[in-house]
Amino acid sequence: MADKHQPLSGKVALVTGAGGGIGKATVLKLAEAGADILMCQKKPESLQGLADEVKKKGRKAVWTGTDLGVMEDINKLIEKAKVDFGVIDVLVNCAAVSPFFGPVLQADERLWDKIMSVNLKGPFFLSLGIAKLMIENKKPGNIINIASVGGMRPDPMLAIYAISKAGMIHMTRMLATELGSYGIRCNSISPSFIRTRFSQPIWGIPEILDMVLKQIPLGRIGEPDEVAKVVVFLASDDSSYVNCENIVVTGGMYAG
């Protein structure tokens, strides 16, 4: 029986975008729950400190640089998972980019390709590779995708990003439908405004923050830990019959 304080004891989790706000919080919460961690991001220098934090919690931590927009990097990451851990039990697709904030009419092909390759293509092929590794080892597992409420509703000034997250939500459902028979559960999480550097251009402007808070019944934006806790729930047996779902973490934003 799993330790209720460490429901992921003996498990290995792979977290992409591990150096970001939600990514870092996810790594630490998974480690607290008992998981060993393989973490990556495009510029991995800051991951050494995070790895040290994981090790202080008594868990193994391995980090590497990976550009999720490059297939060669994705394949190297899957191979590293095999060599260092043998199998991955939990994959958290957290890496994302959003280099364009502006009217949709100003979007161009370069931006489209960049955002789609990291936010959708990369997570898709990484998920396939890790799922194959789970199946080869005859182990059930979890794939958890960090999407966005922008993928559920039109998100002005963030058109390509929102479209990529809509694709991620549907990708989750497709993977859940086809991989469930192997014991692999696939779910997504759609946060709204979370206090991270990624979203600071929005919540860091008082006028915009005030406008946003008026739409949130709880009256505040979320913290990275509040998303990470949902990741741990989905990764554990506490959610053993939760599959093909998109869990919204918004403080009630867009309610009704």
Considering the candidates 161, 182, 241, 254, report the single residue annotated as catalytic: 161
Could you give the angle at which helices 21-32 and 47-56 cross, rounded to 10 degrees?
A: 20
Q: Within 10 A of 212 (CB to CB), how many other CB atoms are there?
A: 18
- CA-wise closest residue to 111 among 97, 125, 121, 122: 97
Which residue, 147, 125, 234, 112, is CA-closest to 184? Answer: 234
DSSP 119-149: IIIHHHHHHHHHHHHHHHTT--EEEEEE--G
CA distance 201 to 205: 7
Would you call 182 a catalytic residue per the annotation? no
Identify the residue whose tokens are 């961690």.
37
Q: Which residue has the tokens 């092909």?
A: 109
Strand order in the sheet with 12-16: 61-65, 36-41, 12-16, 90-93, 141-146, 184-191, 246-249
Distance (Å, whole) CA 171 – CA 174: 5
* Residues whose CB is less than 8 angstroms from the CB of residue 33 and which lie 6 or more positions away in sequence, other chains included: 6, 7, 8, 9, 232, 235, 236
Active-site residues, by number, are 161
